[in-house]
């Protein structure tokens, strides 16, 4: 017949998502037909606005990565859309190292402002871009397979040794 919708804040790789829970409304086939709604799914925290994926993300960031709660709070500021201007505003006043994915909205962090940029939004200081070691290893792996390069094989071997040493320390 119809649906009753409710929303929760969920987490998926890349950021927050709006999770819509649609429960079907239907008529019963008893002697006394009534309009019924499907039961609410079981929840970890009843009546909470956070979905289990968001709760898991917060717990992992806080306890798995040691992120202070005030830093987590900045990640939940609403930005109308994912733009370079929004990224520039979020990193305003920051200087240092940034590891970001390859989305073009992050390029503003790594380029100096043009000299004729009077109309551009305010930009943060130029940050130093750092890469992901796992991605670097994958590229060396691909080069070792495709070109049979001894240098690429040596890089894969050394990175593997570094990962092994990290496991011994932990």
Run means of pLDDT, 10 residues per run, the chain, 170 residues:
81 85 77 73 83 91 87 71 81 81 82 67 73 85 93 92 68
Residue burial 77-99, b: 16+ Cβ < 10 Å; e: rest = eeeeeeebbbbbeebeeeeeebe
What are residue 12's DSSP bridge partners? 15
Three-state secondary structure readout of 139-159: HHHHHHHHHCCHHHHHHHHHH
Give residue 153's pLDDT: 94
136 — phi, psi (to 5°)?
Answer: -60, -45
120's CB contacts (< 8 A; 6+ apart) are 113, 114
DSSP designation for 39? P
């Amino acid at each position: 017949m119809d649906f009753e919708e409710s929303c929760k804040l969920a987490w998926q790789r890349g950021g927050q998502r709006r999770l819509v829970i649609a429960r079907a409304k239907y008529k019963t086939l008893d002697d006394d037909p009534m309009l019924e709604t499907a039961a609410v799914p079981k929840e970890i925290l009843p009546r909470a606005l956070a979905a289990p994926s968001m709760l898991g993300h917060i717990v992992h960031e806080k306890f798995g990565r040691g992120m202070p709660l005030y830093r987590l709070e900045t990640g939940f500021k609403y930005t109308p859309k994912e733009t370079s201007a929004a990224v520039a505003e979020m990193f305003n006043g920051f200087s240092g190292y940034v590891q970001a994915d390859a989305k073009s909205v992050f390029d503003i962090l790594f380029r100096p402002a043009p000299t004729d940029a009077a109309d551009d939004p305010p930009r943060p200081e130029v940050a130093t871009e750092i890469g992901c070691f796992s991605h670097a290893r994958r590229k060396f792996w691909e080069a070792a397979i495709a070109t049979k390069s001894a240098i690429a094989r040596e890089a894969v071997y050394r990175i593997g040794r570094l990962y092994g040493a990290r496991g011994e320390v932990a």
